[in-house]
Amino acid sequence: MNFFNNTRALTGMTIASLLAVAPWLTGCSGDDDSSETSHGSEGSGGSGGTATGSSGMGGESPTGGSDEAWFAVPTQVYGAEFLTSTSYVPLVPSLDVSRIPLDDAKELDGRASARRVGDWLFIAGSSEPVLTRYTIDEDGALHEDGRLDFGNYGLPEYFSIDAWGAVFVNEEKAYIFNGSNGSHVIWNPTTMKITGEIPGPDIVQEGYNIESVAVVRGQRMYRIFTFLNYDTWEFLTEPQYLAVYDVEADELLDLVEETRCPQIYNRPFVDENDDIYFSGWVWTPGLTLTGDYPKSCALRVNAGEDSFDPEWQLNFADEVTDGREAGMLRYLGDGKALLDVFHDERVEIDDDTDAQELVNTANWRLWTVDLKDLSGGPVEAFDYKAGGYTDVQVDDRTFLMVPNADYSETTAHEMVDGDAVERIKIEGSSYQMLRAR
Q: Do residues 11 and 126 lie in contact, with contact meaning Cβ atoms separated by under 8 Å? A: yes
Name the DSSP class of 15: H
Kindly list the domain boundaries of the chain, sorted by start residue. 3-435
How do strand 251-257 and strand 419-427 relate by DSSP bridges?
A: unpaired
What's the sign of the alpha-carbon dihedral 165, 112, 89, 333? Answer: negative
**What is the C-alpha separation between 365 and 358, in angstroms, rounded?**
14
Q: Phi, psi at residue 9, to the nearest 5°?
A: -60, -35
Question: Which pLDDT score, from 0 to 100, does residue 222 have?
Answer: 98
Distance of CA 374 to the CA centre of its chain: 26
The distance between the two most distant Cα atoms of the chain, rounded to a whole number of Å, is 65
Question: Which pLDDT score, from 0 to 100, does residue 67 have?
Answer: 67
Residue type, 141: A
Rounded to whole angstroms, what are the CA distances from 282 to 305, 356, 378?
28, 10, 16
**What is the C-alpha separation between 266 and 283, in angstroms, rounded?**
11
Q: Do residues 316 and 325 lie in contact, with contact meaning Cβ atoms separated by under 8 Å? A: yes
CATH node for 3-435: 2.130.10.10
Q: Can you spell out the DSSP letters for 181-198? A: TTEEEEEETTTTEEEEEE
| Residue ranges for the chain with pLDDT beneath 70 | 1-67
Name the DSSP class of 20: B
SS3 of 17, please?
A: helix
Distance of CA 192 to the CA centre of its chain: 23
Question: Which pLDDT score, from 0 to 100, does residue 255 have?
Answer: 98
* Residue pLDDT, tens place only, 393-418: 999 899 999 888 788 999 999 999 87
Residues in the chain: 437
Q: Can you spell out the DSSP letters for 190-227? A: TTTEEEEEEPPPS---TTSEEEEEEEEETTEEEEEEEE
* Residue pLDDT, tens place only, 202-254: 999 999 999 999 999 999 999 999 999 988 889 999 999 999 999 999 999 99
Element (H, E) at 88: strand 85-89
